[in-house]
Amino acid sequence: MDFVTMIYQIIVMFIILFNFRAVHSAFWFIIYHILVIIFLWWLAMTDDTPLFKWLKNWNPIILVPINFSELRYVVHNVHPKDFDNLLIQIDYRIFGVHPTVWMEKWANPWLTEYLQIIYTTFYFLPIILAIYLLKKNQIEQFKYFIFVIVLAYYISYLGYFSVPALGPRFTLDHLQTNPVTGIWIADILKDTLNRLESIQRDAFPSGHTAITLLTMIYARKYYKTYFWVLMVVGTSLVFSTVYLRYHYVIDVLAGFALTGLVLVVAPFFYRKLIELPMLFSKKVIFLNTSTEDEQA
């Protein structure tokens, strides 16, 4: 997990370096990434006191949102061309309509209320499964699941650099005849999310779809009761990404593709990354042995 985070920091750091003049406060972003790498390296060397143990297990809860927030200051400056028109055309060619506009006929305040609440739970769905695994002392399963989720997050973030897009709530708003409004707290939740995210180029691929699907897949493997809950919540959440106009349908399909990609590459990368500390240990042992031999 920490190696994946460090690799992501290095990749984004080089993206910023190659676009240094285009990114405002580029120097401080680079410093941030260096500090994250140093922090994770130092954290691995610390004793397992309660605080450090918690940070070792749960640092993505802190770092993933921070890295996401950084994107709004970097993506558009690095890649100023938005791909919304292309994504809109793909959706239209597949369906013959703009899906978010077509869905207006099904819009209902009660449905909007429900889906906005479900959409807001996205970030917590994998955390619930991770807590369950830790409580059941399934440490290896916990580590692997967190690794998979972190890998999916950061691949999706790199996707935003490759295909920056605002999403239909901005680009197709002029075609919509009615806003999607709820009853009690839906509008408050929507406004809160908008303030937290600001204007992000985070439509393609749909990270909401990929993270939710991966959580469902591993819940089916590790926690069947939670899986049946996610069959309702997760399916509703994926549907909500289009209904609430956050994503084009092609974004959701790309989220499915990202899920498949992570499932394929994760076992290979996990094996390779988990070998790295052992390789370092072997080198240290070799160096120590060589020194002792020379002294003898």
CA distances from 61 to 65, 80, 88, 224 (A): 7, 29, 33, 24
Supply the Cα-derived Rg of the chain in whole angstroms.
Answer: 22
Question: Would you tell me how many other CB atoms lie within 10 Å of the CB of residue 132?
Answer: 18
Number of H helices, E strands in the chain: 13, 0
pLDDT in tens, the chain (296 residues): 999 999 999 999 999 999 999 999 999 999 999 999 999 999 999 988 999 999 999 999 999 999 999 999 999 999 999 999 999 999 999 999 999 999 998 899 999 999 999 999 999 999 999 999 999 999 999 999 999 999 999 999 999 999 999 999 999 999 999 888 999 999 899 998 888 777 899 999 999 999 999 999 999 999 999 999 999 999 999 999 999 999 999 999 999 999 999 999 999 999 988 887 665 455 444 445 444 443 44
CA distances from 152 to 141, 196, 222, 295 (A): 17, 21, 19, 49
Tokens 């070998």 belong to which residue? 275
Question: Would you tell me how many other CB atoms lie within 10 Å of the CB of residue 51?
Answer: 9
- Specify whether the backbone of 201 is left (phi greater than 0), alpha (psi in -120 to 50) or beta: beta
Smallest CA-to-CA distance from 169 within 223, 272, 86, 243 is with 243
105: amino acid identity, one letter: K
